[in-house]
Amino acid sequence: MSQEIVQDAEQRMGKALQVYQRDLATVRAGRASVSMLDKITVEYYGSQMPVTQVATVNSPEPRMLVITPWDKSMLHEIERAIQKSDLGINPNNDGIVIRLAVPALTEQRRQELVKVVHKMSEECRIAVRNIRRDANDALKKQEKAGALSEDELRRSADKIQALTDRFVNEIDKVTETKEADILEV
């Protein structure tokens, strides 16, 4: 039973790390990336849809994104959604496609993005620690119910702590990589 709790904790921590990595991909690092538009949604026939699901998005140049909507009537809707977003990029609509010229990041903007990345990494660390707390609580309940001995509880708690340390180190490595990417001129 304790092994199942440890495995569940490991899976949940892995998912938290995957979500963090996916969220980091949306942080702009000075180069055009299709993932920058992942969180931007537009209203399409009464429901909110990500831009990437209503248009083709590609990057013909390192600092340019071209958005070609499948339905031409969506051009203005997509343009408005990009303007309202926190991307800080002004879309250029020529009636057929929308071009996003990604400007070079200023040093001040780079520092702001690093702060955003650190905030996101701390949220991920908190999620991992919450998973550790939940797993330890489940183990203690097992011990109180008599299904687990004190020694098994301690061994399982140590395994969960080792998992927590491993995932926090992984989060730190991913954060350092993204920070270096952002600060690269």
pTM: 0.71
Q: For the purposes of burial, counting CB atoms within 10 Å of the CB of 184, is it exposed (0-12), middle (13-18) or buried (19 or more)?
A: exposed
Q: What is the pLDDT of residues 135-178, one digit of tens each?
A: 999 999 998 988 888 888 899 999 999 999 999 999 999 999 98
Cα separations in angstroms, 87 against 32, 109, 149: 11, 11, 54
d(CA 103, CA 91): 12
What is the CA 122 to chain-centroid distance, rounded? Answer: 12
d(CA 176, CA 166): 15
Q: In terms of DSSP bridges, do strands 55-61 and 41-44 run parallel, antiparallel, or are they unpaired?
A: unpaired
**3-class SS of residue 24:** helix
Q: Residue 131: name the closest of 2, 6, 23, 3 by CA.
A: 6
What domains appear along the chain, each with residue ranges and CATH number? 2-25+106-183 (1.10.132.20), 34-101 (3.30.1360.40)
Q: What is the pLDDT of residues 54-93, one digit of tens each?
A: 888 888 887 888 988 888 888 888 888 888 877 777 888 8
